[in-house]
Amino acid sequence: MIQYIILIKKVDSLYLSQDIKPISYLKAKTADVINNVNQNQRTIIITQNGEAKAVVQDIKSYENLQNSLNLLKLIVQSENDIENNNIIEQEKMFNNLEQKLFG
């Protein structure tokens, strides 16, 4: 079994009064919502007819989320390779890499 040490960044709590807004609020105050999201790096959930329908998030938080998901996918792929014995020795891997890069 593979064990990992995962460092978790403290995530701000969701404040219902601040972070969930109806679509009418977004329509009326779009610029303010965008500015607040970018300034505070807090995700806003947009509701329509009382149901969550969309998320407004600053680009840096979105990029970090995507990078985290990609890293988790790589970990899963690596675990699968190890379980299926689809591995090569480190020295052989570096020799193959050098051959591909430098001929």
Domain ranges (residues) in the chain: 16-102
**Domain 16-102 belongs in CATH node 3.40.50.300:** no
Query: What's the predicted TM-score (pTM) here?
Result: 0.66
Q: Strand runs (DSSP E) across 2-78, as ranges?
A: 20-22, 44-48, 51-56
Lookup result for tokens 């919502």 = 33
Neighbouring residues of 41: CB distance < 8 A, sequence distance ≥ 6: 58, 60, 61
Whose CA is closest to 14, among 57, 64, 74?
Answer: 57
21-61 pLDDT, tens digit per residue, is 999 999 999 999 999 999 999 999 999 999 999 999 999 99
Q: Which amino acid is at 13?
A: S
State pLDDT tens for residues 50-90.
Answer: 999 999 999 999 999 999 999 999 999 999 999 999 999 99
C-alpha span between 99 and 87 (Å, rounded): 18
